[in-house]
Structure 1
Amino acid sequence: MERYFLNFLHNSAPKAAINAKQMENLFFTDSSSALAKARLFIEEIIKSIWVLEKLDLESHDYRNLSDRINYLYRQECFESTINNAFHFIRKVGNDAVHVSDANGNMQQAYAAHKEMYNIAKWYIEFYTTEEIIIPPYEQPQLPRVQEIPEDLIKEKMEELLKTMIGKETAATTLTDEIKEEAREQAENELKHTFEEHSDNYLVREIGKLRISAAEAVENASSFSAFKNYLHVNRPIQEKVEEILQSRFKQDSNLILLSGSVGDGKSHLLAYLNQHLNNMMGQYKVFNDATESFSPSKTALETLEEILKGFSDQHIHESNEKVIIAINLGVLNNFVNREHNEYTYNHLKMFIEKSELFSSKILTHAEDGPFDLVSFADYQMFELTPNGAESNYFETLLQKICARREENPFYLAYKKDLENGKKTIIHENYEFLSNEFVQKQVVQIIIKVILQFKHSVSSRHFLNFVADILIPHDFKDSIVLKESDRLAQTLPHLLFNSIDRSQLLDYARLVNPLHSRVQVIDELLVTLNTLTDWEVLIEERIGNEIAKDWLRPFTDYADGEEILEFLINQVVNTLYLTSEGFAKQCSDIVYQQYLDYLYNFNKNAKPKIREFYKNFKTTLFNWKGSPISEYIYLDISENDFAVAQKLKLNPRLENVDERHESKLQTFKQNISVVFSDSDKKNFVSLDIDFALFQLLVKVEQGYRPNKKDEEDATTFIEFLEKLMNYGNKKDEVIIDFIAENKKYRLLNDEFEDQGFIFEKVD
């Protein structure tokens, strides 16, 4: 097992062990980030205890770290020394993220390091049955400089000694002082040579994109030059700047930045602190509304104290200006709870009036001293009449690959080339510098977001970029055979990586090779019967780097095991580099979904009506229908069925069509609503891509099976509610399917409790 700080947690708390390792790696280079990793360490330990104690991780009362620690302490899960250790690390971890103080942070880092050891040792002893020897505590040690081989030092010493004494060979009578001076000079010169020429500068720069890197830790009070270079303006930033400008001369203001974890609130605050310091200086900024400052108070009680200037008791006299980043769940809990000392009815009314928790698209709401900016509807990509695109992700890739002197990645790439160093990573970097490749990579990310409902933050996207540039098993000095080298190229890393990240796992599932389209089928037939690949590579592959990757295989002989691997590489490469091929591989159902999603969010009535019409067909196909307008209630095993008449009443909101062509704020689901005949009761359904895909198949005649119904539970529940809007109390159709005979049973309006039974032609 690899040796690192707290590696004895590897089996019982692996995520905590990883955070401990990263904490020590960052210790001397970035103490603030190290403390942030220490806080993540205790989060994982507390989660593990929560699970072992069989507690509900999703409980609204104990969703933040402080409340969980306090609850476990009250339940006597640990003693006061461990409780104090948890709270100490929690507090210094938060301070490190929100307040930058290098000297103070280093002192706290040493203390946190020791407390992490105490917690880990206690956890192993009390919550595991592992029989392991826990090593004694050791303080972190400064990393050793790269060791230089002794024979090189001696060889360099001999050269220096010849110069120093002017002789052909170093005399054995040389004094120890002269020898020591020569050794020190030799080590310094060799050290400089090693640092200057053995380092892979591009790998080092790309490594900063990883989530585990110090640069990935967001600090609301500091904004590094690296982050400043990568910063991309977003519409939500412009909205917050607009609010700051409009409120500049006002005395009282509460700005609520609401959203979810990882949506960029901390990054935005850090940027504003640096670039609009004169405006931000007026505000108290709280970057973590889930945080409690006292072990005796819950996070919501602390939030009550922070916001007391905006309570009903003080709102009319307050001159406070506060910005608070707050998750949607915490905000909802706060406005709906019974408060201890103050009341917040004005704030609650403002939140309710904003319709933050409705299906309405909300970007900004304001009233009195309150401003609410919702991150939830500001997406990482845009919807257009021609599909989806992401200015944000594309700009990030352009910044990483731009051939300009202010780009640290390009400078590192150039320096490596000047030093004669060019590896597969440099080739992947060149490949990603192609504009169309960048667009295709971004399209894959958007498809993953929509198809799998996977949230992609800036940090996860940048980590993804590092993963498709740097192979996980990359060794700078190893010479690989051609097939192994091909496995380290960007197309292969993008579509064939396993267990590197959830984002890459999803990218593997959208590999174009899995598409059942004619162009892929034809290409597969061609490739499986091809013996000389040279013509295909030269004619079909337009990208020179990709050609170089594939040229060693032009003399491929049929029957070799590498065939499937090569086919995969050719298809993936064409998809990333050939616009014509990529268009032919287009997923028609996915494009339909994007089209409807765009028009629903744009409130374009013609397309919405078209969708409802098709949706009606799907509903009747799902349940089955004996005749027009009638839908089966149930079908027995004896081919005997009862159907009712169901009139669908779509509810279309009376909202004007949005005029902008490109939508930057929108919902990621298609929402449909139906009412009963009296238009008093409503039933709604949010349709994501997975459900849309299934519904399209049903519309085209596919009969759903039991697994389909299990996968589409929300649709089944919606359909059952919708069936209650039928008129089965007044009339039903009885269908003898095997005999192809149908009868109508309906109430006789001329006789009480009388019925009419008649055959249906």
Structure 2
Amino acid sequence: MTTLDEKHSYNLFPSIDNISTPTKMDEATLESFWEVFIVHYELEIHKFSYELIKTMVRYNPDGALKNMKILFRALGQARLNYLAEEKSMEIDEAFIDDKKFALVATEQLWETMYSIYGLSVSEYQEAKAILKLIKHEQVPKNILLAGFNSFEKLVTELFYAVKKQQSIERIFNSNFASQEVKELQIKNTKEIKQNPNQNESFQDHILSLQLEESQLSTKNEVLEESAATTLIEERSAELINIMSGNLTPETIVNSVPENQPIKFGSMFLQKIKGLQKSSNETVVNANELGDFQNYMHIERKIERDTVEMLKEMQSASSPQLLLLLGSVGDGKSHLLAYLKSTKPELFENVYIHNDATESHSRTRPAEETLERILAPFEDGQEPKQHIVIAINYGKLHNFYLMQEEKEKFQCFRSYIDSLNIFKNVKDSKANLTFENFHTVDFSKEKYYSINEKGVYSVFFTSILEKIAAQNESNEIYKAWLLDKENNKWTIAHENYAFVMNEQVRKRIVEKLIHVIIRNKLIVSTREFYNLIVDLIVPPEILLSPQSTAFSLNNSLPNLLFNHPERSAILLGFNELDPVLIKNSLNDELIASIFMHPNLEIYLKDAFQIQDQIPFDNHWKNAIAINEHLEVAGFVIRLKELLNEEDANTDFSHFIRYLYAFFKGDGDVIEEVFTILEKVVFQWKGSPKESYAYLTNNLKKEFRMAIPMDLDRTLDQEVFGSVEDGDIHAANHYITIGFNDINFELDLKLFEILRHVSSGRRPNLYEAGQAIQFEDFYNKIVKYFEDKEKKLLLVHVQTNSYYEISKPRFSKAKFDVKRV
């Protein structure tokens, strides 16, 4: 353990002046400080590095939890020392002596900091969340991820505390700078006269000291002048760093060096993993984009809508408020930064708040910062300039509730009500006009389209094309070439080469759209970048960066379909794994892999390719060690990416019907009604034509059935609503039914109903999944029960029929006759 500082008796960190301080904590700064923290507490870097812990949270949660327990205890020790130093308080011996500290519970350590040493409420809340977490040996991945986020926040607080302490220490020491200059001048005057050659080095030293003195004087003037303003008080961390020379307007933007050292010897791995960070960097550097972000920019309809709205704001006679509303990672901040750099004229007299999750104070919630920014648009105020805010739904909802409780921002809250985004029923304020408030809703833009041929996505395809582009503008490709020339080769490099295949990119996008429609997912730009990294870089390389990870399991087809644990998107891909499909083609492939005398020729013929089969060495090696089943799975998945979509799949049929629904193609929709009519009479069973059983209980001696005269209906407002062009922004379902009782037919439900229509009764699982259709069926039954006067009673064993009817004039409750 590092010894206590002799001056203060506090265990303080060495200087971190070499770590620049960003306006908002970024990953590069956090990682640099994390390493200082680990070294200071003599922890092993290869076990506790930031990148490794972050990776383990995703792929080895149990190991991450174990390491976090150790890190959290060391973090508590560090924070205690800086709290005590700040308040000039002594630290109890129980927290200093190693033997005694070993007996102190981690929970007691953090409670002591809060109750005695003045730990902030926000830090204590984050600490309690982690304390609750580390009591367990195993926790779900999503809970662990939330705990790790809390841990990152506490490390960030420690970073600012260290910066603050070291800046104050520097200012304290600077009081002796002027005296040192004078003493050096007197001391060396005689020596310079005696030895003129010393003059140059002495003057350089004097110049550096005078420059430091001048800078410190200027910084102190800035401190005194700024202390009166509320905003500067709240951003004291930034002010201290400006004072200490660690933060300038230039270093705010360029706090991360362009040419960082190549980690683990592979420039390509560094570049491709950087995709996971690139969507975050526009929030940190909100005023400009880097070269790679500019290269990756893709114009979307939402960009054109935003430009039009900004033009209207510039021509307005009074200040306007524009909300860019959406979900996390959907590109709001990126778009603002891009437009500001390419169309600066749209932002004249415009205040931009690029990240509504950001607080101007580390001790106050983001909602208070948002309240201060929106203050000019509060009731009765007169704003002086336009305001543009990028904000997520959750943050806007929190702000709305906070102001509702305070009974403030009445007009703005009425505008939010009119958008109908937090309520399922239309608000009466929807018809009101709000001349000064505007919204561009990113959630309304879907990233895929449907035409008569199937599905496609210009956006996702363009991203993949840019990443795989073989040109000098693509930093990823250049890094890949450099690694190839230097024989730095892993399975990730081969996966990237596979993505260069246009057909593979097309099928990845089609399969992604399949997952989105089937699971009703919203895939943001950030999530798509993460997916690309997951498809190229296997967990083995993330956990052990020096590994080549050469194995068939780490090839892209297997990473795509066989790793559901990595993300919700890949879980969706796993549900579409072609290996799970039982058909004659798959059976033939599997048999051929075990028995064909020349498998390579057979596979080339099956894939209709003349070049080398992708991942050639790996499947051949697997065959050599008798891993035929693994090769079979790989080949079936590879075929799915190299061949076109089968026109007879549930997905192909559903997309054809969905397209016909929005286009108003009645002939095609008739096919859907035919399927549904079969399903209605097979859902519980049917004793005879046009009759359906009321229940599914086969154990009873008698079963009741009801006649149904089904009249086809659908949502006439949506049917045929898209007259021209492809379908770009649509729901994932068809609203359809009988006798004015409709339900929403989505892809998952369609899969079940199509199988039922082919003659198979639904099992309990399918019935549970098809709860919406079950509800629809019960409504149809009730409709005909109320309408029909006759029921059919069926004796199960003899299959005898009895008609039950309610007599019009007899005193008997029912008439029963055999039919």
Shorter-chain TM range is 0.5 to 0.7
Aligned-residue sequence identity (percent) comes to: 27
List aligned pairs for 1:395-410, cutoff 5 A: 395-410=462-477
Q: Deviations over 1:655-679 (max 9, x none)?
A: 5531333222111233336666xxx
Residues 461-495 of structure 1: CA deviation (Å, up to 9, x unaligned): 22222222223324787678xxx444443333333
Match of 2:270 among 204, 213, 217: 204
Tell me the SS of whatever aligns to 1:466: helix
2:310 aligned residue: 244
711, 721, 740: which is aligned to 1:657? 721
- 5 Å-filtered alignment, 1:210-221, equals 210=276, 215=281, 220-221=286-287
Question: Is the CA contact (8 Å cut-off) linking 1:216 and 1:459 kept in structure 2?
Answer: no
Cα shift at 1:589: 0.7
1:495 has 2:576 as partner:
no
Deviation at 1:406, TM superposition (A): 1.2
Structure with greater proportional helix content:
2
Alignment match, 2:653: 592
The residue matched to 1:724 in structure 2 has which SS? Answer: helix
Which of 666, 673, 676 aligns to 1:615? It is: 676
Query: What is the distance in 2 between the residues matched to 1:330 and 1:124?
Result: 23
Query: How far apart are 1:125 and its partner, in Å?
Result: 6.4
In structure 1, C-alpha distance between the alignment counterparts of 2:338 and 2:132, rounded to whole Å: 44
CA distance in 2, matches of 1:746, 1:292: 72
Q: Does 1:324 align with 2:386?
A: no
TM-score normalised by the chain length of structure 1:
0.66
Q: CA deviation at 1:323?
A: 2.8
Give the one of 601, 610, 615 matched to 1:549: 615
Question: In structure 2, what is the Cα distance between the partners aligned to 1:278 and 1:81?
Answer: 54
- Equivalent-residue separation in structure 2 for 1:660 and 1:452 (angstroms): 28
Which residue of 519, 523, 544 corresponds with 1:452? 519
**Could you tell me how far apart the structure 1 residues matched to 2:665 and 2:113 are?**
59
Change (3 A) 1:718 1:340: farther
Give the C-alpha shift of residue 126 in structure 1. Answer: 7.6
Pair 367,217 (structure 1): closer, same or farther in 2 beyond 3 Å = closer
CA distance 1:199–1:693, shift in 2 (3 Å): same
For the residues of structure 1 that align with 2:466 and 2:362, how far apart are their CA atoms? 44
Counterpart residue identity of residue 478, structure 2: L
After alignment, is 470-479 or 656-665 more displaced? 470-479
Q: 2:703 is aligned with what amino acid? A: A
Return the alpha-carbon distance in structure 2 between the equivalents of residues 216 and 543 of structure 1: 42
- 1:25 counterpart (23, 31, 52): 31
What CA distance in whole angstroms lies between the structure 2 residues aligned with 1:507 and 1:433? 20
Where do residues 27-176 of structure 1 align in structure 2 (5 Å cutoff)?
27=33, 79=114, 85=120, 87=122
* Partner SS state of residue 723, structure 1: helix
Q: Secondary structure of the residue that 1:376 maps to in structure 2?
A: helix
- 2:133 and 2:619 map into 1 onto residues whose CA distance is 55
Paired position in structure 1 for 2:436: 369
Residue aligning to 2:461: 394
Please point out which of 706, 722, 746 is paired with 1:688: 746
Q: Select the residue among 510, 529, 536 that pairs with 2:576.
A: 510
CA contact (8 A) 1:219 1:266 kept: no
Provide, for residues 614-649 of structure 1, a one-character-per-residue CA deviation record: whole Å limited to 9, x for no partner.
Answer: 324323321333445543323553241223445556
Partners of 1:541 and 1:644 in 2: how far apart? 53
1:741 matched residue in structure 2: 800
Contact kept? 1:211, 1:460, Cα under 8 Å: no
Shift of 1:613: 4.6
Structure 1 unaligned regions, length at least 5: 1-18, 49-75, 88-114, 143-193, 677-682
Paired residue secondary structure (1:615): helix
Residue 512 and residue 353 in structure 1: after superposition, are their counterparts in 2 closer, same or farther (change >3 A)? closer
Deviation (angstroms), 1:651: 4.6
**What letter matches 1:650 in structure 2?**
T
Q: CA-to-partner distance for each residue in 1:704-755, whole Å, 9 max, x for gaps?
A: 2322232333333343344333333752413224333333334444x38766
Q: 1:349 to 1:243 in 2, by over 3 A?
A: closer
Cα deviation, 1:15-67, whole Å, max 9, x if unaligned, reads: xxxx99987325599xxxx9xx99xx9xx9xxx9xxxxxxxxxxxxxxxxxxx
1:80 Cα offset (Å): 7.4
Work out the number of aligned pairs and report it: 599
Structure with max Cα Rg: 2
Structure 2: runs of 5+ lacking an equivalent: 1-24, 36-49, 66-110, 138-150, 164-259, 427-431
CA contact (8 A) 1:451 1:689 kept: yes
Shift in CA distance, 400/276, structure 1 to aligned 2, threshold 3 Å: same
How far did residue 354 of structure 1 move? 7.0
2:508 corresponds to 1:471: no
* Residue 591 (structure 1) shift: 0.9
Describe the superposition over 1:562-607 as per-residue Cα deviations: whole angstroms up to 9, x where unpaired: 1112222323333323x3xx445x6611111222223334454544
Determine if contact 1:436/1:576 at 8 Å carries over to the other structure.
yes
Aligned position for 1:698: 756
**Kept after mapping to 1: 8 A contact 2:604/2:613:** yes
- Flag the 1:28–1:543 CA change in 2: closer, same or farther, 3 A: farther
Measured after TM superposition, the shift of residue 693 of structure 1 is 1.0
| 1:475-528 C-alpha deviation (Å, 9 max, x unpaired) | 787678xxx444443333333346333433433332322223332222222222
Residue 645 to residue 281, structure 1, CA distance change in 2 (3 Å): farther
TM-score when normalising by structure 2: 0.62
Provide the secondary structure at the position in 2 that maps to 1:643: strand
What is the match of residue 90 of structure 2? none
On the 8 A contact 1:289/1:325 being kept in 2, the answer is yes
C-alpha separation between the residues in 1 aligned to 2:538 and 2:400? Answer: 48
Q: Distance in 1 between matches of 2:811 and 2:654?
A: 49
Structure 2: distance between partners of 1:540 and 1:127? 52
Residue in 2 that maps onto 1:261: 328
Could you say what secondary structure the match of 2:586 adopts? helix
Superposition pairs of residues 269-280 of structure 1, within 5 angstroms: 269-280=336-347
Query: More displaced, 740-749 or 377-386?
Result: 740-749
Contact preservation (8 Å) 2:323, 2:440: yes
Q: Contact between 2:705 and 2:794, CA under 8 Å: does it hold in 1?
A: no
Among 681, 705, 714, the residue aligned to 1:643: 705
Cα RMSD, aligned residues only? 4.7
